[in-house]
Structure 1
Amino acid sequence: MKELIQQKLKGLESDYNITILFAVESGSRAWGFPSPDSDYDVRFIYKHMPEWYLSLDEQKDTINSLEGELDLVGWDVRKALRLLRKSNAALFEKLQSPIRYGQQGCFLEEIQRLAPAYFSPMAGLHHYLSMAFNYYKACAPEQDVKLKSYFYLLRTTLASLWIVENGTIPPMEFKDLLPLVQDREQLKKIEQLLEIKALVGEQYLHPKEEEELERYLLQSLRYCESKADTLPKSVGTTQALDQLFRTTILNEVTHNS
């Protein structure tokens, strides 16, 4: 599958006359709890030739390609850097993905180096809390729930807790969030659910038997919600991003101390 994805990416480079700076897996495969039939959510950052940016009008800055189980979405480098300036949680996740399909130059290393300065604990917490509460509301009243949705709830809740406890970018991989679960019984239940999810399809409905787990998650969310407005915002400046943007477009990305 990796070779097929790389072929598709090369095709997009040719079709759109772009250079893909890096491409990674996102979603459940990168989070560490895929189902056997999970799609491949490929995300990439690309650049155009310099003259593309010298236009009076803004042009489309995303590329989407959906084919079967392959979902490929790309952002132009200027869009990506603007989102970093806004402390975009999805971008922070992409930068941590353990599954890479390729990269050009050292743009990935440079943006990873800059990223912590642009992380806003307040914005990040609001992002994950909003998602987690939505998943909780969807799961709580049902007798049988998609195990996929349950893990989305777990991940966003623990990412929220990570931000409150550590004030840093939450890790993308689910296993790195699990040490936050201090209750051994709840941790055992989560590990059991992980084993089930690895064997069943995306549409699998799991019988509701996790009342204590749901209570734990709701308590965690309420705790994080109480801290949301006390957290700091990001302090990163535009200057460093402008420099990275210019050097990337001109093919002169260097490692600066």
Structure 2
Amino acid sequence: MTDVLDLDLRPVIAEQPDPVLFATVSGAHLYGFPSRDSDVDLRGVHLLPAAALVGLREPDETRSRMWVRDGVEMDLVTHDLRKFVRLMLRRNGYVLEQLLSPLVVHTTDTHRELAALAPGTLTSHHAHHYRGFARTQWRLFERTGELKPLLYTFRVLLTGIHLMRSGEVQPHLPTLAAQVDEAPDRLPELIAAKAQREHGDAGVDHARVRADVERLHGVLDEAQTASGLPDTPVVYDALHDLVVRARLEG
């Protein structure tokens, strides 16, 4: 299994055409169920020069690259700062998980400022993000029967429930399994199985896991209704000022 903490990923950041404000590891390593052959998902933010945004040509606000480095499959996606912040303000839990990932490859003062402002972007409507993601992964599981989309289904439902209750973005499934009382008892067993293989049949009773998923959807609905999170972000102006300042400073 690839231990991302043992990889020197700094050269990857240095190769990028524009300054990188942060890069973290996302995907299965962040979620707590990497396999022996899992790729390394790098996510982050780059900073375009001001000239790239004021002319006629459309800039590359999102850049993606996949390649193999030292025998490890790498997947790098970065957004320009302005686009990333706009995603933060659109109840997108995925980008917040990337921003707050503890698996940090590269950081800057701007990264730390963004992370400090992240709680102010959280709303009760983030439940919709996790609910929709869960339904997509569940349909994939029903079509393939594979373990990976099943774990993703459980992961996003539990992340959404925990977020609605605590105001904390927690994408790590083993942690969620211990913190959310309604988590299925079999999760540690399924996580251990995923460590052995990236793809393959889940080997579960479909009726049983369907009942678990339906139950967790109900728990998420209840948690959203009872949530103390606001309806809209409260840090729009602060994020605007941060984007302007970072751009002008280059």
So what's the TM-score if we normalise by structure 2?
A: 0.84
Cα drift, residue 211 of structure 1: 4.2
Corresponding residue number in structure 1 for 2:187: 190
**Offset of 1:73 from its aligned partner?**
0.6
Correspondence for 2:119: 116
1:6 deviation in Å? 2.4
Q: 1:66 to 1:141 in 2, by over 3 A?
A: closer
1:30-179 map, 5 Å: 30-56=30-56, 58-68=58-68, 69-103=73-107, 105-122=108-125, 124-140=126-142, 145-166=145-166, 168-179=167-178
The C-alpha deviation readout for 1:131-154, integer Å capped at 9, x for no partner, is 112323343576xx2111111011
* Partner SS for 1:48: coil
Aligned length: 239
Cα distance change of structure 1 residues 141 and 85 upon mapping to structure 2, 3 Å threshold: closer
Could you say which residue in structure 1 is the equivalent of 2:22? 22
The 5-angstrom pairing of residues 211-230 of structure 1 reads 211-225=207-221
Q: What is the alpha-carbon root mean square deviation over aligned residues?
A: 2.5
- With 60-69 and 44-53 compared, the bigger mean Cα shift is at 44-53
* Secondary structure in 2 matching 1:23: strand
Displacement of 1:57 in angstroms is 5.2
Distance in structure 1 (CA, Å) of the matches to 2:247 and 2:96: 21
Alpha-carbon offset, residue 227 of structure 1: 6.0
State the one-letter code of the partner of 2:100.
Answer: Q
CA contact (8 A) 1:92 1:169 kept: no
| d(CA) in 1 for partners of 2:55, 2:99 | 29
| Code of the aligned partner of 2:81 | V
Structure-1-length-normalised TM-score: 0.82
In structure 2, relative to structure 1, the CA distance for the partners of 1:206 and 1:238 (3 Å cut) is closer
Does the Cα contact within 8 Å between 2:30 and 2:172 map onto a contact in 1? yes
Tell me the distance in 1 between the aligned counterparts of 2:76 and 2:140. Answer: 27
Q: 2: distance between equivalents of 1:134 and 1:86?
A: 19
The one-character-per-residue Cα deviations of 1:209-249 (angstroms, maximum 9, x if unpaired) are: 36444322211213423665776422324321121112212
88 and 134 in structure 1: CA distance in 2 versus 1, 3 angstrom threshold: closer
Q: Secondary structure at the match of 1:35?
A: coil
Tell me how far apart the structure 1 counterparts of residues 56 and 239 of structure 2 sit (CA, whole Å). 21
How far apart are the structure 1 equivalents of 2:123 and 2:173? 21
| Alignment check: 8 A CA contact 1:85 1:236 kept | no
CA contact (8 A) 1:158 1:180 kept: no
Give the match for residue 205 of structure 2. Answer: 209
- Distance change (3 Å), C-alpha of 1:108 and 1:141: closer
The one-letter amino acid of 1:191's match is P
1:243 to 241, 244, 247: 241
Cα distance, 1:176 vs structure 2: 2.6
Q: Write out per-residue CA displacement over residues 134-180 of structure 1, whole angstroms, 9 at most, x where no aligned residue.
A: 323343576xx2111111011011122223433x2431222331234
